[in-house]
A and B are shown apart, each in its own frame.
Chain A
């Protein structure tokens, strides 16, 4: 009898629960490419936050670093008239999709929670289209970083380089000691990531903005750009002969193992150091590309909200709010290695590099030197970005010298617009 009662009770409870879920806000379907260990763990935070509110999570991961495959899947879904609730996206892709008129409008929640005040203006440029909120930023990465193996540098008596000349001298010193000065992966996007920092180091934020954001032909082909390509040539002299085609995390591993001294890479590299049980400031160093202190070239992952049926809107709005909540922004970014996309989140949970990055982000936002990263599609649309990649990689692989590269850059950008 008890067994029977127990069973009926269980069944009743299950029924009640499933009814409860159905009655609550429904579920969200999320398309993303955060499939690697750390990233998946970070995303799990959001999943749990939503489950607490009774919102189901339909995971739709499409593996592939830059999200190329994910975008192909998205095209098919949107063309078929069945878009997912939210899609992870970067930079100008968001605006390109917004132009197609398939995105939702988040203005009401944005006004209610005051997003306008807390999200850096440079990020809003991507989260808004035509003045309306269409996406929620999840994190802010930046690209003008240098990562270094502290033990190796201490052993050679090298201090943290402050200027470009210091940096070159330090690289030379490592080379003379028979180690690899610069760990590098020869893939176009990695070379372009380095180029972000180099361009900023040559001409500062004004030059960067004029060249990559305004795409001014005179600046793109000017003497400062030639100088930037010359610095790339300089750096080329410090990589090992086997660099081409190497993945970025293998290059990071070279620094972790102490085979190489420096790597110029975005702050996703930090995750690799932390996973190798290295401590910032003790085992490895993080500092801005010499000559770019105070400036930040960022890229930001955002969840773009697509137009969905009325029955799913409540769940979509709840997800947008959950993503923007300070507690989620903090816990997600601590795990991911990036910094929060709002400036009012306390930095207590972050490590030293993270604290530094948060302070610099705030400072750059106030000074107006928070600039979109060219290499990661936050300075110009995909067509132009890739045209610049073509030239940067041709220069770095020795096909163009600095003067020719600057000329080709003007041509390539003009053709891609």
Chain B
């Protein structure tokens, strides 16, 4: 009898301990992630300027947000940047992964080389590319010194093209990581299917087009989700590479949000832009999570 209750206590404890141990981190996350999301959403409806204040102004901040030319520019830039970044990264990543997957010698050495840019922070990438792309000291200058004096490449100084330099730097940084994801996906494909297809006389091209790439669907999805949220939140790269310039030409929603909240003393508008950004990410993540969580059942 006594032994039974002891056992009972033990199993009960075993049931409770994980919950007890997890409770603090869950509570912290509830407050500092979801709590502050709600707080930000609330601030976007207030007249907060330099510090949070609690006078409600309705949708006024959102109305002002969409009147601002800088915000429309930031949205436009994000569309260009995200589209190019995601597509180019995926294409380069997939190509590299397929090439590396040919059972070549030295793969162990090549893989980390492609992966290394990911180990750098965006600040370092941004600063390095800033110097590379600067016509006064970088690529253009070097080629001029080598004798190719008609070479001209000053995108980073031109309002209309500066956003593409952000794409270049970001693609350089992340392609290797996308490659690693696709490589893992490729390694997961059942060799038997490939052998069967080869026996049936499928060409290499058809093999990839009809069998391998369709099977990489989960890898594509993860790549898409990771790249798109990196694109929406990218801030440090722009700050280091162009500082939002020339003028305001490379302003993105994240840099916009920071400058309105912290340097322009318009916390309300900043919060409104943060809410819009959250909605954008949610619009991408929710269908993905829904699809992912539905499947196992």
Contacts and interface: CB of A to CB of B under 8 A. Distances in A.
Interface of A: 66, 68, 71-72, 75, 78-79, 93, 96-97, 99-100, 186-188, 241-245, 381-383, 386, 390, 393-394, 396-399, 408, 412, 415-416
A245 B243 contact: yes
5 residue pairs, one from A and one from B, having the closest CB atoms: A397-B247, A244-B246, A393-B247, A242-B136, A382-B265
A382 B263 contact: yes
Contact of B134 (A96, A99, A242, A399): A242
B229 interface: no
A383 B116 CA distance: 41
A393 B263 contact: no
B242 interface: yes
In this complex, which of A100, A245, A382 has the most chain B Cβ atoms within 10 angstroms of its Cβ? A245
Nearest to B266: A383
B247 A396 contact: yes
Contact of B51 (A66, A68, A78): A78
Given A100-B51, A242-B135, A408-B69, A187 B264 contact: no
Contacts of A187: 243, 245
B130 to A, nearest CB: 8
A390 B70 contact: yes
Interface of chain A: mostly helix, strand, loop or mixed: helix
Nearest to A247: B243
Nearest to A191: B247
A68 B247 CA distance: 19
Nearest to A78: B51
B268 to A, nearest CB: 10
Given A186-B247, A415-B67, 14 more contacts: A75-B51, A78-B51, A96-B50, A96-B265, A97-B50, A187-B243, A188-B247, A188-B248, A241-B154, A242-B136, A383-B49, A393-B247, A399-B159, A415-B68
Contacts of A75: 50-51, 262
Nearest to B263: A68
Given A188-B248, A386-B263, A390-B70, A241 B157 contact: yes
Contacts of B249: 397
Contacts of B135: 241-242
B64 interface: yes
A96 B249 CA distance: 29
B280 interface: no
Interface string B164-196: 000000000000000000000000000000000
B121 interface: no
A412 B73 CA distance: 14
A386 B50 contact: no
Contacts of B136: 242
18 contacts: A68-B262, A78-B51, A79-B51, A93-B265, A100-B51, A187-B243, A188-B245, A242-B134, A243-B157, A244-B245, A244-B247, A245-B243, A383-B266, A386-B259, A390-B69, A397-B246, A399-B159, A415-B67
Contacts of B242: 245
B245 A100 contact: no
A397 B159 contact: yes
Interface in B126-150: 130, 134-136
A65 to B, nearest CB: 12
| Residue picked from B50, B134, B135, B136, most chain A C-beta under 10 Å | B50
Given A397-B159, A415-B64, A245 B264 contact: no
Given A100-B50, A241-B157, A415-B68, A390 B248 contact: yes
B264 A394 contact: no
Contacts of A241: 135, 154, 157
Contacts of A416: 266
B68 A386 contact: no
B154 to A, nearest CB: 7
Contacts of B154: 241-242
Contact of B265 (A186, A383, A396): A383
A386 B51 contact: no
Interface in B230-250: 242-243, 245-249
